[in-house]
Structure 1
Amino acid sequence: MLKLDFERAVLNRVPVMEKHPESYFRQVLFLCDEYQHFATVGESEPTGDEKFFSLSRQPKCIPIIATQSISSLKSALPGESWRTLLQTFRTKIFLSLSDDFSTRIASELCGREYKLKASYNLSESGHDANVSFLTGRALSHKANITASKSYSSHHDLRFDTKTFMELRNAQSVTIAYDGTNPMPPMFCYLKPSFNNVNKFYFRQLADGEL
């Protein structure tokens, strides 16, 4: 109930901001951990988190939510409504995931790209071959071995499910949005706020701080 009252109060700022465009309105932060316990969807009703998040930029609300996994969010919502809610989050930061459903959805959200895949071919040829009476195998005193390497383009997942399951501490796959344009999914190294901000990630990792 408190969450719905907060969302209603934030959306009520819209007509006030339109009425007084000369005034300055501060940003509002919506921060929620373990969001799967508080998530609601309205579907055909006028209330619902998916409707609030889709309109939150206009009243200057910054929503930041954290959930255990996509599976936990799916199990808390009816039907396929979790998809509608998930698409309202423009920036998504995936830490290590352990269930196959969450890793598959996260991998699909990152999309596909063309990758070069190497293939190798080994071939052996011989001249004046004969059969050995001792081993019964073909023998040749003039043999050649040819090795070749070729590349072919494949339309493959940008990050496969294995990548999400093997993410270490302070590593993430991020789908970012800069406020104007979406950025391509990328592998990110994170630095905890309680560590030295002037010390780069790999030095912190080598010193055992991560």
Structure 2
Amino acid sequence: MNTGDAMVHRCNPKNCGTEKGMALVSALIVVSVAAGLFAAIMYFALTGTEISGLQRKYHSSKEASLGAIDVLTKDLLPTVMGGTNLSAAVSALVKPTAVMPAVTADSAKDACFTAKLTKGTSGWPGGTCDSGTDPTVNPDIVFNLKGKSDQTKPYVVNMKVIDTVTGNSDKSGVVLDLGSGVVDDASSLIRIQHFPFLYTIVTDARQQGSTTDRVNIEVLYAY
């Protein structure tokens, strides 16, 4: 065969090395991008699972705190304002064991709690009857509330009144007018709604034994 009749491709050693190097770099880039995408997917998947777990714990603690606030303001405060000591009101409180296995109030602090409900903050007796913002220090009342069926430990809710402001009336049997706080069409006057006291209440709710997964709520309650 005449060498002129056939085209024989011969690679220049310099060019061949360049082509192989470019192919290797391209392969490394593809592998790096794929590894980066896989790492990102795994990161977001694991982070999403962690956030979901934290949200679940936060939601449970928040629900426990709101439940304790509801019991305190609707059941216990009116009873104490009627002349019953807090510890006696707690003892008489109906506590469904499936929901609220325990509620505790120190009888030695009954006078303190009564003062908190009936006097401005400056009139409190002092000592352990303090206005510190940490509800776990000298709490007025402590609730133990059951969690979900798969949670063995209860939620502990510490509650404390930290400030009392006297309102625009006394508590000696105020009868609220119908439509208080709205305009009276007949007289074009606004009837002012009466509140004997305004309380600032703080709560700390967490699962028993936990030091991190907790919810703190501050409530301004008009009695």
Question: For this structure pair, what is the TM-score category when the shorter chain's length is used for normalisation?
Answer: under 0.3
- Rg larger in structure: 2
More strand as a share of residues: 1
TM-score normalised by length of structure 2 = 0.19
Q: Structure 1 length as normaliser, TM-score?
A: 0.20
